[in-house]
Structure formats: structure tokens, C-alpha cells
């Protein structure tokens, strides 16, 4: 039985014919191909002297096709055995693909294949040889080869074409092949189906992919404050202008403020190879909080917060929160204005134009010029103030200063000064002028408690006012609170009208909008009520101070000079002649005086 030769994917009409003579071989070829002799190109392979020794190669095709014919092969199942024929390339034709030949022979499943004969023929590159005993030809169908990468990350399948009449490969058979190859995971059913439908023979296609391991993510620290080096640059205030006294020198924080958020590392997820093996992931590396001072770390180890208000620094992998801002040297343009949540210690002087604010105490090692100092706590100035009628010290606690010249001092705590010269001082506590001079010269000083001094006024009859009673700023505060008490009922009336409106429109208004207005009204009513109670409490406190403001005394151990004025309650006493060792008090709606009621050793009491 003859079969047309197959070469690497195309059918060529070529065959070897052997007969006792050339004419006989030609006749067999014409009969085999079913065409005229003129359509066949013959080439004598061998022609012996004995009969039956003529062998021809017969090829059907145009001269151009034959001139550049590719090498190819044919397998023929004949009565006396299975034969392999090779046809070498011509002209620019391609050489024989031995791998394709061997694969074809393998897929034919030829019984007792003589590989030595096959190899000898391939070395000869052309000819005809018997490679097996007579047997029935097996027509092979589509087949698939499986290639699994060494790391078992992917699977490629290559589809091979069937012989004419051979069966097609079913998807079930393909799955079975993959399973037999050990593929148990990651099969892409859609890719496999398309692969079988497209019939892209001889080219590998990926049909299964492993589930890759997901490595863990390293932990990290998120700094919620700037760790950049302080630039000391002025702050921009818009319009192309800058404030040269507001410099970037520190990062301020409040107590409880979140400093660092720690994001823990993740373990990741293991993967699975195409053969079902576990692919280990790489866990993320954790990160620890830096060292710290005045900080606390949450129990969950996820947050670092400030234990106190002040400034925060990140230096040498350490986070330090300090409630004291230390300035070495003078506070001037090189330092800029300070607004610090904590205490401020200045070793030098505070130069004119500077503003120093602190929620805690302020300590100045030198003197204060025409500057502003505002503290929530105590103020201590080792030197004095030369205010130039512009200097201001305001303290929520006490003020201790050597001297004040043409400055203003406002304090809720006691004020201690050696000399006050043409200055304005107010304290809600005791004002004491003590030291070498212990003098109040010119200006106006006032106290809600007692005023104690060695001297009031001067030999030159400088006008000096000393006042005992509720301070002017507290009177202004009382007036403001009284106006607020009058205003708040009007706000409550507006909220009542809003409640009435909401009751009417509940069924017609959008539920979300209605709920928003309703909650807003409730919250505003709560805030107004709290504010009203706070105002009433503060009014009662200030009223009590006002009613008892005449209890204070003015004690002078040495001299009250002529030109001084003493104000207690609603009365004013003008000193026309010097008075020595005297105490002033309020009695029967007028200022009266007598011998000093305290002794020198109790001056600071």
C-alpha cells in the first residue's frame, strides 16, 4: 500500500520507483500519480546492468517548485514491510528536519522499528529503506505535549497536527494528559479551550499558572510631624511678603498628640505550584519604635503619642518631647517670635519687637526691651524691663522682675518688683515693691489685693496712682459676660423656632437633611446651655470680687510723696504732703489712713 509522502507540514507528490527498466519504472510512476509522463520529473537514482536494478525519483510539480524543493520524507506501508523514503533539498530549499521525522515515526507507533536503518538513511540524506516488518498502518490523531518549568510556575502545551483522517484531541483528553503530567493547580480552562480551538500546531501556549506567593510587606513608621531639619526661614504671610519674626525653629506638639504611627509587617500569603506544592512566602520585616522621652506607646504597639505639650525633636533615632523651649542667648531676629505650648527659658535678653508666648512659664535670664511677653503661667525676669511705652508682660500666674520702666505688666498672680517707673501694673493678687528701693514712681499700679512698698511717688512730686480693687480688665470682662447673658436667650429662641419647623416638615423633608438639621439643633442647644452656665459662674465670681474689692490695703514702710493719688473703692485720696510709715484702707465710703499695719519683716507675706 502506497501513501503520499509528507514533509514538515505540506504534501509533496514525490516517490521512488524501482523496476527492471527505466520504462517500466516510468510506467509505474505515471499509474501511481494518475497524470501524463510530461507532468513528472524523473531522476535516475541507480541503474544496474542486471534486471530490476533501475530506481527512479519521480516528482510532480513545476520546474520552479522542483528547483527549490525542500527536503522531505514519506512512510509507506507495503506488502513486504514498512519503508521510509527521504528526498533531499534542491536549490534554495530547506534541509530535512530530523526532529520532525523522528516525532512522526514515534507518533506512527511502528512495531519493531529499525532505528539503525532510519539513522543510516538520514545520514545519506536521500533514498529508500525498509524500517519495519509488514503491519497495519496506524493513523494518529492530534496529540499534545506538556512542558512544566523547572520552578513549577507555569505549564506550556504544544498541540501537534493529526494525519488526514486522524481524530481530534478532546478537552477531556487534554485535561487527562495534564493530570498525568502532575498538573493539579492553576489550570486555565478558558486558555486550554482556546488552545484546542485555534489549532496553532507546533507552538507552545501557556495553559496553567501557579498561584505565586505574596511576600509580606515590611513594617514602617509614619511620622506625623516634620522630621526635616529646621530651616529657620521666615513665614510667608501672602502677597509676596514674609514675617521675619516667625521662624521655622521647632515643631510644636500638644499633649496626647499622635507623633508616630507604626504599621506592622504582614506575613504574606503562601503560593501553590502547578503541581500543588506550597510555595513559601517571605514574611515582612517588622520595625520598632525609636527611643523617646516624654512619649508613650499604645498597648497595641501601633501609636506613639506626646505625654506633654511642647516641642518635639527627632535626633539620633530618638523622639524627644520637651515642655521647655530653651533659647541660648538673646531672643532677637535670629530667633524670631515664639509661640510655644509649654515653658520658655531664655538665657539672654528679649530684644525690642520680639513676641514671646507660652502656655507655661517664661524665664528671662537678662532684661526685656520694648517686647511682648505673654505666659499662661509665671514670668520671671532676672533683669528688668525698659519698655519704651511699648513693652508688655502678661502672665496667668505671678511676675517677678527687678524693675519696670515705661512698661505694662498684667498678672493674675502676685507681682514682685524692686522699682516701677512710669509704668502700668495690674495684678489680681498682691503687688510688692521690695529690694534696695522698693519704690513705685509715676504711672499707675493696681491690685485686687494689697499693695506693699517702701516708697510711692518721688521728691519731684511725680504723679503716681495706686489703686486697690477690681482691675479694669475684670470690669470689662464682667460687662462682656452680662451682654452674653442677654444674647443667649435670643439664640435659644432661634433653636425653638427650628424645632417647630422640623416638627412640621418631618414628613415632607428629605430624611437625611431633616436628621442633619435635627442633630445640629440638639448639639447647638447643648453648647449654648453649657456656655450659659459658664457665664453665670464667672459672673458670680467677678461680682463677689467687686463687692469685696474694698478689703485691700496699701502699706508703705517709708514715704508716700506729695503728688501721689490713692484709689480704693469709689474714693480717691490725693496726697498733698509727704506721709511716712502709713497704711491706707477703705472705711465708710472713703479712703482713710493710719500708722502702717504691718511690720517690715512681713512685707513679703
Secondary structure (H, E, C), 117-185: HHHHHHHHCCEEEEEECCCCCCCCCCEEEEEECCCCCEEEEEEECCCCCCCCCCHHHHHHHHHHCCCCC
At 232, the pLDDT band (50, 70, 90 cuts) reads very low
Res 149: pLDDT:
94
Least confident stretch, 4-18, 367-381, 586-600? 4-18
At 383, the pLDDT band (50, 70, 90 cuts) reads very high
Report how far residue 40's alpha carbon sits from residue 59's, in angstroms, rounded to the nearest whole number.
6
Res 8: pLDDT:
37
Strand partners of residue 572: 567
Give the model confidence (pLDDT) of 54-105 as tens digits.
888 899 988 888 888 999 999 999 999 999 999 989 889 899 999 889 989 9
Least confident stretch, 77-86, 219-228, 235-244, 265-274? 235-244
Res 604: pLDDT:
44
- Higher pLDDT among residues 525 and 469, named by residue: 525
Whether the per-residue pLDDT at 5 is higher than 80: the answer is no
Give the model confidence (pLDDT) of 579-604 as tens digits.
999 999 988 889 999 999 988 765 54
Res 249: pLDDT:
61
| Proportion of the chain above pLDDT 90, given as a percent | 56
Whether the per-residue pLDDT at 229 is higher than 80: the answer is no
Report how far residue 324's alpha carbon sits from residue 341's, in angstroms, rounded to the nearest whole number.
9
Average pLDDT, the chain: 88
- Higher pLDDT among residues 336 and 556, named by residue: 556
E strand or H helix at 501, and its extent? helix 472-505
Angstrom distances, CA of residue 234 to CA of 247, 373, 396, 591? 5, 20, 29, 54
Res 52: pLDDT:
57
Res 246: pLDDT:
53
Residues 556 and 581: beta-carbon distance below 8 Å? yes
Whether the per-residue pLDDT at 254 is higher than 90: the answer is no
At 473, the pLDDT band (50, 70, 90 cuts) reads confident
Res 242: pLDDT:
52
The mean pLDDT value for 11-17 works out to 76
The dihedrals phi and psi of 68, each to the nearest 5 degrees, come to -125, 40
At 469, the pLDDT band (50, 70, 90 cuts) reads confident
Give the model confidence (pLDDT) of 142-165 as tens digits.
999 999 999 999 999 999 999 888
Res 398: pLDDT:
93
Written as nine digits, the cell of 369 is 526691651
E strand or H helix at 495, and its extent? helix 472-505
Instruction: Provide the pairing of β-strand 234-238 with 241-247.
Output: antiparallel
Res 2: pLDDT:
33
Give the torsion through C-alpha atoms of 368, 371, 377, 379, to 10 deg: 10
Q: Tell me how many degrees the CA angle 375-377-382 measures, rounded to the nearest 5.
A: 75
Give the model confidence (pLDDT) of 169-208 as tens digits.
999 999 999 999 999 999 999 999 999 999 999 899 999 9
C-alpha closest to that of 444 among 463, 430, 418: 463
At 562, the pLDDT band (50, 70, 90 cuts) reads very high
CATH classification (class only), 221-266+290-322: mainly beta
The dihedrals phi and psi of 2, each to the nearest 5 degrees, come to -100, 150
Give the model confidence (pLDDT) of 25-53 as tens digits.
899 889 998 888 888 888 888 876 555 58
The mean pLDDT value for 414-443 works out to 93
Amino acid at each position: 500500500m502506497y501513501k503520499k509522502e509528507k514533509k514538515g507540514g505540506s504534501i509533496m507528490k514525490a516517490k521512488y520507483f524501482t523496476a527492471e527498466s527505466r520504462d517500466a519504472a516510468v510506467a509505474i510512476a505515471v499509474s501511481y500519480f494518475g497524470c501524463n509522463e510530461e507532468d513528472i520529473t524523473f531522476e535516475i537514482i541507480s541503474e544496474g546492468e542486471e534486471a530490476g536494478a533501475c530506481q527512479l525519483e519521480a516528482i510532480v510539480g513545476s520546474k520552479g517548485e522542483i528547483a527549490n524543493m525542500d527536503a522531505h520524507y514519506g512512510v509507506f506501508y507495503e506488502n513486504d514491510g514498512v519503508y521510509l523514503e527521504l528526498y533531499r533539498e534542491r536549490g534554495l530549499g530547506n534541509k530535512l528536519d530530523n526532529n520532525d521525522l523522528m516525532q512522526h515515526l514515534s507518533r506512527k507507533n511502528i512495531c519493531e522499528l529499525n532505528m539503525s536503518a532510519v539513522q543510516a538513511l538520514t545520514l545519506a540524506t536521500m533514498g529508500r529503506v525498509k524500517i519495519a516488518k509488514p503491519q497495519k498502518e496506524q493513523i494518529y490523531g492530534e496529540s499534545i505535549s506538556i512542558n512544566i518549568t523547572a520552578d513549577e510556575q507555569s505549564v506550556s502545551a504544544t498541540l501537534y497536527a493529526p494525519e488526514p483522517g486522524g481524530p481530534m484531541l478532546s478537552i477531556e483528553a487534554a485535561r487527562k494528559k495534564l493530570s498525568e503530567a502532575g498538573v493539579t493547580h492553576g489550570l486555565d480552562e478558558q486558555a486550554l479551550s482556546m488552545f484546542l480551538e485555534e489549532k496553532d500546531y507546533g507552538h507552545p501556549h501557556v495553559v496553567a499558572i501557579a498561584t505565586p506567593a505574596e511576600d509580606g510587606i515590611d513594617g514602617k513608621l509614619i511620622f506625623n510631624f516634620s522630621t526635616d531639619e529646621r530651616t529657620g526661614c521666615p513665614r510667608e504671610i501672602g502677597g509676596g511678603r514674609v514675617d521675619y519674626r516667625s521662624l521655622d525653629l521647632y515643631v510644636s506638639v500638644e499633649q496626647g498628640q499622635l507623633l508616630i504611627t507604626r504599621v506592622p509587617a504582614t506575613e504574606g500569603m503562601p503560593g501553590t505550584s502547578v503541581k500543588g506544592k506550597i510555595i513559601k512566602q517571605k514574611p515582612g520585616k517588622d520595625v520598632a519604635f525609636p527611643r523617646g522621652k516624654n512619649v508613650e506607646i499604645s498597648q497595641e504597639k501601633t501609636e506613639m503619642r506626646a505625654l506633654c505639650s511642647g516641642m518635639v525633636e527627632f535626633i539620633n533615632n530618638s523622639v524627644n518631647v520637651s515642655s521647655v523651649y530653651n533659647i541660648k542667648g538673646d531672643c532677637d531676629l535670629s530667633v524670631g517670635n515664639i509661640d510655644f505650648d509649654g515653658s520658655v527659658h531664655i538665657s539672654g535678653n528679649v530684644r525690642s519687637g520680639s513676641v514671646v508666648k507660652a502656655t507655661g512659664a517664661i524665664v528671662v535670664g537678662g532684661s526685656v526691651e520694648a517686647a511682648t511677653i505673654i505666659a499662661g503661667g509665671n514670668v520671671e525676669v532676672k533683669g528688668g524691663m525698659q519698655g519704651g511705652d511699648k513693652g508688655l508682660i502678661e502672665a496667668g500666674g505671678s511676675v517677678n522682675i527687678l524693675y519696670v520702666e515705661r512698661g505694662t505688666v498684667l498678672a493674675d498672680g502676685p507681682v514682685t518688683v524692686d522699682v516701677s517707673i512710669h509704668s502700668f501694673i495690674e495684678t489680681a493678687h498682691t503687688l510688692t515693691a521690695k529690694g534696695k528701693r522698693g519704690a513705685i514712681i509715676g504711672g499707675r499700679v493696681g491690685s485686687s489685693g494689697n499693695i506693699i512698698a517702701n516708697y510711692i511717688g518721688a521728691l519731684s512730686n511725680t504723679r503716681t496712682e495706686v489703686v486697690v480693687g477690681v482691675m479694669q480688665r475684670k470690669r470689662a470682662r464682667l460687662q462682656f459676660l452680662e451682654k452674653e447673658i442677654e444674647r443667649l436667650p435670643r439664640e435659644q429662641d432661634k433653636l425653638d423656632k427650628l424645632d417647630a419647623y422640623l416638627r412640621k416638615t418631618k414628613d415632607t423633608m428629605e430624611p437625611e437633611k431633616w436628621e442633619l438639621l435635627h442633630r445640629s439643633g440638639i448639639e447647638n442647644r447643648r453648647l449654648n446651655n453649657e456656655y450659659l452656665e459658664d457665664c453665670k459662674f464667672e459672673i458670680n465670681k467677678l461680682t463677689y470680687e467687686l463687692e469685696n474689692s474694698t478689703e485691700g490695703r496699701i502699706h508703705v514702710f517709708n514715704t508716700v510723696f506729695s503728688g501721689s493719688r490713692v484709689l480704693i473703692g469709689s474714693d480717691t485720696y490725693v496726697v498733698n504732703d509727704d506721709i511716712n510709715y502709713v497704711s491706707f484702707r477703705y472705711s465708710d465710703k472713703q479712703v482713710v489712713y493710719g500708722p502702717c499695719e504691718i511690720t517690715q519683716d512681713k512685707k513679703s507675706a
